[in-house]
Chain A
Amino acid sequence: MSEQTLRQWLLSDEPTSRRQARLSAWYQGWLAFRSNTLAMLGLLILVFLILCALFAPLLATHDPFTQDLAMRLQPPGESGYLLGSDSLGRDIYSRLLYGARISLYIVLLVAMVAPLLGLVIGTVAGYAGGWLDVVLMRITDIFLAFPRLILALAFVAALGAGIENAVLAISLTAWPPYARIARAETLTYRNAEFIHAIKLQGAGPIRIITRHIWPLCLSSLVIRVTLDMAGIILTAAGLGFLGLGAQPPSPEWGAMISEGRKYILDHWWVATIPGLAIFAISLAFNLLGDGLRDVMDPKGGTQ
């Protein structure tokens, strides 16, 4: 489908037609995307969660940090606690809203750091070739051979528990697949005629990589990142669950499950509700990513 317009856009030098081509590609993609019910559902959930996070102070009924030991472990709907209260008498609904901010914050940061790292390493390796390629890919292999959660755990343990370090640790474990994708894409374009043409015009390798190769790698990376978002959220929640992510009293959802697991038999909501929230957000990302792949991936789209 968008193969042809994409190529025109890539080859075009005139700004007006570039914008035009791009817009038309986006529009066609949107039409295809809109007809995908599940993907739209994902988008809706995500928009809803983002709104919740944005307007948390307005939507919250309580301060997410204020404790009330006399009102601990209230079931949902009772005493003004919409989704119940936790072991220190904090309102779970309000904590959930503020927790959405943390989850989105983590996802955004990782989604910016990891693919960028992978993009740089992958394109450099692919474009430079030779020993640099061998060395960089060997490093990538080493990181790929690591059990991922354990590597993240090790990094957090080394850096100290906390949300920024969790982001860093997840990024450090998430980049190798991006590097592989970026390298593979680079290899297909490296000897393409248009690159040769640009070289002849006197462009240096840095300029070629950043201006011409990177944009070409973007679409496959974006799909991959969206599909990985759920994995990132689950890893972050797993770290929180193990006590190595966001620190108390922060309302990170994984940490909330961890706190609530002690009470699961008699007060199911304390651990169950944040679990459902994690499920909802990762499902939304997965649905979205799946839909995006159908729309944007030219290889998948031809089937």
Chain B
Amino acid sequence: MTQTTLTAARRAPMASGWPKKLATTLLTVAVTLLGLLFVTFMIGRVMPIDPVLAVIGERATQAQYDETFRQLGLDKPLLVQFGIYVGDVLQGDFGKSIRTGQQVSTDIARVFPATLELATLGTLMGVFLGVPLGVVAAVYRGSWIDQIARLIGLIGYSMPIFWLGLVGLLVFYGMLDWVEGPGRLGVFYQGIVPTRTGLLLVDSLIAGDMTVFKDAFGHIILPASLLGYFSLAYISRMTRSFMLEQLSAEYVTTARVKGLSEWQVVWGHAFRNIRIQLVTVIALAYANLLEGSVLTEIIFAWPGIGQYITTSLLANDMNSVLGGTVVIGTIFVCLNIFSDLLYRVFDPRSK
């Protein structure tokens, strides 16, 4: 998957003094997002897919075509179109989706929680399994446990997720009947629980409806496990290498000489020192699942933002694509800044 993108976490240019730093950071974010919009916008305009046809369909006359062409503002020069779009976005108006006929912000408010829920659960699984695995692999470096951990990681990096999803559905849903099928919720559970957060697991708990919770859990568990496996591969690998670095440090030897137990050395000292690095890695893994679950969403008919952007893209519904890209891009940039900040504040070496 796309871990590679994120390992190269960005460092904002150095500046002295907090206000200046803040200003630089904000400027960087603004420029990055504007660039993101511009690239997306231009791709949409050179794409040989006609957005007008997506609106009016195959039977329309030329006059109806021209009318819609004007309504969509496609008759104006490209840069003017872009300017109008950015102006609208600044006022909080992302425009209307030509595919669903609704406001893009409405659409995103509907699809984003689905992705958020899936990615969160996946990351949690990755963290709770991947961190211990990485630590153990580092402590027993070269042992069979280390080899197995390494193999688990490598297999995770090598698996075509769409294929694993298909096979997983076939086995766990089709044959074993352990999990629920595609989608977020069984059909007749829909609309029972009032939408508060958009996260079905949370909403059903708030409403105290355990049958809905169980059904939602049965739906999410398989795709979340798949995504969790991929983040496990990444997190355990990074944890292992961080831990190795610490365990070879002098203070560890000193601690051992002082007679501290192995448990205290590993968890009390070495692990404490990699916490910040680990948070960064987890943040990146999380961002990765938020943006990288397109294929999983398609296989599991998961109505999330990845699927939303993809189907919109193929219909040249650029308002939706732009809106979705902005959301994901913002999250990515924010998580990067967040991990930068963590380093600056807590890591003595970066000062």
Contacts and interface: CB of A to CB of B under 8 A. Distances in A.
Task: Say if the two chains contact directly (CB < 8 Å).
Answer: yes
B166 A261 contact: yes
Given A138-B32, A148-B2, A286 B160 contact: no
Contact of A146 (B4, B8, B39, B147): B39
A141 interface: yes
A247 to B, nearest CB: 15
Contacts of A206: none
Contacts of A271: 163, 166
Interface in A212-245: 224, 227-228, 230-231, 234, 237-238, 241-242
Contacts, number: 156
A167 to B, nearest CB: 17
B111 to A, nearest CB: 14
Given A150-B313, A261-B166, A238 B160 contact: yes
A265 B181 CA distance: 14
B313 A142 contact: no
Nearest to B175: A265
A136 B329 CA distance: 18
Contact of A275 (B36, B167, B174): B167
A200 to B, nearest CB: 30
Interface in A100-150: 134, 138-139, 141-150
Q: Which of B4, B164, B248, B314 has the most CB of A within 10 A?
A: B4
A127 to B, nearest CB: 17
Contact of A157 (B47, B159, B170): B47
Contacts of B159: 279, 282
Interface in B176-225: none
Interface in B296-351: 298, 306, 309-310, 313-314, 316, 321, 325, 328-329, 332-333
Interface stretch (B70-78, B89-97, B129-137, B150-158): B150-158
A99 interface: no
B10 interface: yes
Which interface class (under 10, 10 to 19, 20 to 34, 35 or more) fits A? 35 or more
Contacts of A174: 4
B162 A158 contact: no
A264 B170 contact: yes
Q: Which of A38, A134, A138, A241 has the most CB of B within 10 A?
A: A241
B321 A154 contact: yes
Interface in A259-280: 261, 264-265, 268, 271-272, 275, 278-279
B31 interface: yes
B244 interface: yes
Contact of A290 (B36, B150, B167): B150
Given A148-B2, A238-B295, A264-B166, A257 B8 contact: no
A155 B43 contact: yes
A145 B36 contact: yes
Contacts of B43: 154-155, 157-158
A180 B31 contact: no
A51 B3 CA distance: 30
Contacts of B328: 147, 150
A208 interface: no
Q: Which of A145, A154, A157, A180 has the most CB of B within 10 A?
A: A145
Contacts of B295: 149, 238, 241-242
Contact of A144 (B8, B248, B309, B321): B8
A234 B47 CA distance: 24
B160 A147 contact: no
Contacts of A238: 160, 162, 295
A283 B155 contact: yes
B243 to A, nearest CB: 11
B155 to A, nearest CB: 7
Interface string B256-270: 000000000000000
B88 interface: no
B160 A275 contact: yes
Contact of A177 (B7, B151, B163): B7
B32 A141 contact: yes
B5 interface: yes
B46 interface: yes
A278 B163 contact: yes
A205 interface: no
B49 to A, nearest CB: 7
B1 interface: yes
A177 B32 contact: no
Given A154-B321, A157-B314, A231-B1, A286 B32 contact: no
Given A146-B329, A177-B5, A303 B155 contact: no
Nearest to B174: A265
B40 A176 contact: no
10 contacts: A141-B10, A142-B35, A147-B328, A148-B5, A150-B325, A153-B313, A231-B157, A242-B310, A279-B158, A283-B154
| 5 smallest beta-carbon distances between A and B, as pairs | A275-B163, A142-B35, A147-B291, A283-B158, A282-B158
